[in-house]
Amino acid sequence: MRKPVILITGANGEIGHGLIEYFSTSETHDIVALDLKPLDDSLTGPNLRSMQGDILDDHVMQRIVSEFEIHVIYHLAAMLSTRAEYTPDVAHDVNVNGTLNLLKLATEQARWHGTPVKFLFPSSIAVYGLPDVATKADAGKVRERDWNVPTTMYGCNKLYCEQLGRYYSDHFRQLAADRSPSGVDFRGLRFPGLISAKTMPAGGTSDFAPEMLHAAAQGQPYACFVEQSARIPFMAMPDAIKALVDLAHADVKQLSRRVYNVSSFSLSAGEVREMVLKAFPQAEITFEPDRQRNNIVDSWPADVDDSAATKDWGWKPDYDVRRAFEEYLAPTIGEKYRQG
């Protein structure tokens, strides 16, 4: 018999770390953690099984199918926005074809065990594209259906994968004579910039905030690659994990859409610096904007309207900006680097 499991792709990434830590204490299901690289030693648990492999490799996908019965997929593997601009073709392959492979796997699994496969997908504020800073300031809290004109390959990929998820869930093979649902229950979250006290992001454009904080905690100087005035929404990692898990547990009948904005607080890069300085008064933080990366941040909304998530499944962040910095980021990060 194959074992019923939750599959997490991109398990070594920032969200993967947070999710696996969370599951190690509060989930009865077994977890299969898939990543290109061997799973970090810090990630352990009695119910955790790690697999090394590429989501683009059919053999890897088949190996998973042959061993496990998958009921929930957290598809976290992706190439983030800055890195994707250097190799857009590869990014498209990983972000789009990788997601398509997982949707196919979910469809096959749902057919096998006869129950829907929940497919949790972290999307991003990168799906939005505001044309200039004046429009961005006027737009305020952007709603899900507005400004869906991303300027980055990553943003295009995420927006299209949201649509693929909706297609698989609601319109799969709509012309087939033997038409039956795919069994995929796709649920996406458009995350703001995420800040973790425990891990560093790699290859994103919202990375200036966590980079500033982690540099300060290590006593290193930091030159920020966007202007002080560049503003986007952010969220502390525990809230991102909570949002994913809460959306996974939500009753499908309560969901009026397949993709939701979620947000906690909105800060300019200058304000991030002020918060970091409160925690680490000796920090040396300067601004040396990179025009292109700054333009990407300028094209993302200053904040998002997450009222649909609140209404449908009770979304509410635990960490406002003060709590995020004073009760989570500063103490936890301080401990991380003291321990070495």
Stretch that binds ligand SER, among 112-120, 164-172, 203-211, 318-326 (CB under 6 A): 203-211
Q: Write the binding mask 206 to 225 for ligand SER: x where contact by CB under 6 A, - elsewhere.
A: x-------------------
- Please name the residue that has the structure tokens 């990929």: 157
For residue 32 the two structure tokens come to 């299969």
Which CB atom, from 116 or from 193, has the smaller least distance to ligand SER? 193
For residue 249 the two structure tokens come to 């547990």
CA distances from 317 to 80, 235, 238, 240, 314 (A): 24, 8, 9, 9, 10
Is 315 a binding residue for ligand SER by CB under 6 A? The answer is no
For residue 43 the two structure tokens come to 């990630």
Site for ligand SER in 116-175 (CB under 6 A): 124, 126, 154
Strands (E), 172-313: 184-191, 193-195, 222-224, 231-236, 259-261, 265-268, 285-287, 303-304
For residue 26 the two structure tokens come to 């509060």
User: If you count DSSP H runs as helices and E runs as strands, how many of each does the chain have, helices first?
Assistant: 14, 14
DSSP code, position 51: E
Q: Is 154 a catalytic residue?
A: yes
When CB distances to ligand SER are compared, the closest residue is 204
Among 9, 12, 50, 81, binds ligand SER (CB under 6 A): 81
Q: Which of 154, 168, 319, 328 is catalytic?
A: 154
Among 151, 205, 263, 266, binds ligand SER (CB under 6 A): 205
Is 234 a binding residue for ligand SER by CB under 6 A? The answer is no
Which CB atom, from 186 or from 300, has the smaller least distance to ligand SER? 300
Instruction: Name the residues that contact ligand SER, by CB under 6 A.
Output: 80-81, 124, 126, 154, 191, 193, 204-206
Catalytic residues: 154
